[in-house]
């Protein structure tokens, strides 16, 4: 999956949780909030530097992000901002 595809997937997943006040709901506000939620998700992954059982570099139940994984998530973050 490319960073752009992952970015779109995260934003789409966040749409169900991004509604604010239904009286002022617009598709644009939903997209903006979805992007914020998706960026928060990516930043948490980067800040923790951990993924669960998604790599071969396991350390117990947690693994550290390697350089290419960090690069991938940074690219995903940029793609989210471009949506």
Q: Give the count of domains, the chain.
A: 1
Mean per-residue pLDDT, 48-76: 70
CA angle 74, 56, 7 (to 5 degrees): 25
Contact, 6 vs 76, CB < 8 A? yes
pLDDT at 52 over 70: no
| pLDDT value of position 3 | 94
Domain that holds residue 21: 3-82
| pLDDT value of position 19 | 66
More confident residue, 54 or 42: 42
CA torsion, ordered 62, 67, 69, 72, to nearest 10 deg: 150
| pLDDT value of position 30 | 82
Distance CA 19, CA 1 (A): 27
**In the predicted model, what is the mean pLDDT of the chain?**
80
């Amino acid at each position: 999956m490319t960073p752009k595809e992952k970015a779109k997937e995260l934003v789409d997943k966040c749409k169900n949780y991004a509604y604010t006040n239904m009286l002022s709901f617009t598709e644009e506000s939903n997209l903006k909030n979805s992007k914020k939620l998706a960026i928060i998700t990516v930043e948490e992954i980067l800040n923790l530097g951990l993924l669960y059982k998604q790599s071969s570099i396991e350390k117990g139940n947690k693994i550290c992000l390697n350089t290419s994984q960090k690069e991938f998530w940074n690219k995903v973050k940029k793609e989210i901002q471009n949506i």
